Structure 1
Amino acid sequence: MGSRYRRQFSTRKAAEDWDLRTRAGFADGLVVPPTVKAAGPPPPTTLGELLSKTRQRYWQDAKSIKTIDANLKTLIDYMGEDLPLSSVTEDTIEEYTHHLEESGKLTPATINRKLAVLSRSLLYAQRRGWITQKIEIRRKKEGPGRVKFYTEEEILEIVKAFHVDLEMPEYALLFRFLCDTGLRLSEALDLEWEDTTDGRVTVWDHKGAKPGGVPATDKVAAILHKREETVGNLTGPWADMTVNTTRYAMKKLRAHFDKTGADGWLWHTCRHTFCSRLAQAGVPLPAIRDLARHQDINTTIRYSHLSPKDYESAINKLR
């Protein structure tokens, strides 16, 4: 008894043509070729491709599609649609979370909703076999929390590690520069030489941040002088660096000290360090807000526990 072959065709004519060829093949003693399953679409290899597939799979008919699209855009604007999926790690997600937090406009609940689109996308990718490792996304607690900052001892150890152990001295300078100016990493990378004149580091409006600047300390001035000797022919002091190269440098640093982004070892922690050191030195919170260009004073209040002298001074006025 012969085998029966069943095959699906897009049109009746295609089916009839195949039937004629098959019958002719049997008559000539030829083997009928097996049915070959058509290859599906290629798996996503970048973050943008994954988000597009996830949107089509889960959200394109959702009532909240406008909010979802806004959250997807925020994610793409920060990470880039061409970011390889292999580069989406817990550390890069921690950096993104800190970026959202620093805007000063988002509640923990809103940040969690923005993280949710990434979480769903990564879960979808894992289930489809596009990625093999489960990536944990730490949600924000619904309430104020204390921030991680580098201690003086850690600062010295990190500078030494970049200079000596990792042989990346330019990143030691960047690290120290960020700790002493409070600039966001993106702001530092965008600096031009004309923004570092008259003893100040000037920052123009950047993603909602208030324009302004910070006086350059002697240490910052020395760093800028060193960079000018090295890359003075470029547009700015850090123009030879990119987001990807700085991520790589931080990854090397964390591996050297056996730390992770979840431990707070991030470039953005330099900004927290700047604000924390000012608070510990007794600088009033409104001044810290202005130097850091916080949109909301509530962002600055996170550092209030570091300046107990302010409270002692206030209570003393009642005595």
Structure 2
Amino acid sequence: MLLKFAFQDFLDDRRFKNTTKTNIRNYQTLLGEFISYCIDNEVVNVEDINYSHIKQYLWVCQEKGNQAGTINTKLMRIRAFLNYMVECEVIKNNPAHKVKRQKEDVRIDVFTDEQIRQMLSFYRRIKQREKSYFAYRDYMMIVLILGTGIRRGEIINLTWDDIDFVNHNISVFGKTRRKETIPITSKLSKELSGYNTFCKQHWGNLSKYVFVKRDNTQMTQNAIMLVFSHLQKKMNFKDVRVSAHTFRHTFCHRLAMSGMSAFAIQKLMRHQNITVTMRYVAMWGNELREQNDKYNPLNYLDV
């Protein structure tokens, strides 16, 4: 079967299975690179792909500067595509299963208190000086993520009807594509209420979406990425990337450092698998420090 047709068939199958638009785009980009690589190297049929082609392609990606995490993501996309080809009986075995994942360095960036203060102060100054909706919007997005750990896609789709100001919670459609309830503090509820009042005064006709673009319509993935890209340039932090996900990691970091249980963190972060939560707790939790302070052998030695 010709690769270009197999690739399109695979994408159509993902759409039929109601895969998210974000994942479809990821397949088009990441898997599409591999398909182009194969065709450029005269591998035009699915049946002709072997272990060496996959390994060589990933090696080329590594030479271009791709980190282990990116390499592993590309490998996962290739495996998914070839698994589908096995299901369709185009090939008997998936050669990508023989390719091992690379070991990844476990390093998760989070913001310091000072960095958070700098970013919030930056937007406060603009908001007070210019009465800018966009400064208020971007400020409120940061406060919301820091207070809930909400994901970028959930921010885009958040509506005013999703916010319960009385019971202090918000409803989102998470990665599991189920409606989930997130508790919010009374402080965050007041911040959102004040932002709601400002939006009504600014727009007159309030959009159903909490965060909107210049034309008062729903934000896009690209629009929100531009917000954080702009903030990155303004802050010029050397050791951390300014992104929605870094704010989410910071939320999780503070929960772990506070001594909150892994179970509670899992519920607030809405991780499907607690092993993901445990990775954060093992990295940041204060229990290990407390146990070390209590039982370290040096405590009982005269040194």
Question: With structure 2 as the length reference, what TM-score do the two structures score?
Answer: 0.58
> Match of 1:214, SS?
strand
Larger radius of gyration: 1
Q: Distance in 2 between matches of 1:209 and 1:310?
A: 35
1:245 has 2:253 as partner: no
After TM superposition, the structure 1 stretch with the greater mean CA deviation from structure 2, 299-308 or 231-240, is 231-240
Structure 1: stretches of 5+ with no match in the other structure = 1-55, 82-95, 97-112, 125-134
Q: Distance in 2 between matches of 1:214 and 1:115?
A: 33
> Match of 2:244, SS?
coil
Q: What letter is aligned with 1:159?
A: L
Identity of aligned residues (%): 19
After TM superposition, the structure 1 stretch with the greater mean CA deviation from structure 2, 243-252 or 275-284, is 243-252
Q: Distance in 2 between matches of 1:250 and 1:122?
A: 31
2:143 to 171, 176, 179: 176
2:207 to 231, 234, 239: 234
- Aligned twin of 1:189: 156
- Aligned twin of 1:199: 167
The structure in which a higher percent of residues are helix is 2
Q: 1:274 to 1:199 in 2, by over 3 A?
A: farther
- Aligned twin of 1:298: 275
1:117 has 2:24 as partner: no
Alignment of 1:118-137 (within 5 A): 119-120=33-34, 137=66
Q: What letter is aligned with 2:192?
A: L
Higher relative contact order (Cα pairs below 8 Å, separated by 6+ residues): 1
- Aligned twin of 1:77: 21
* Equivalent pair of 1:279/1:303 in contact (CA under 8 Å): yes
Q: What letter is aligned with 2:185?
A: T
* Equivalent pair of 2:111/2:250 in contact (CA under 8 Å): yes
Give the total of aligned pairs: 223
Question: With structure 1 as the length reference, what TM-score do the two structures score?
Answer: 0.56
* Equivalent pair of 1:161/1:253 in contact (CA under 8 Å): no
Structure 2: stretches of 5+ with no match in the other structure = 39-63, 70-101, 201-205, 296-303
* Equivalent pair of 1:146/1:303 in contact (CA under 8 Å): no
Q: Distance in 2 between matches of 1:250 and 1:165?
A: 16
- Aligned twin of 1:151: 112
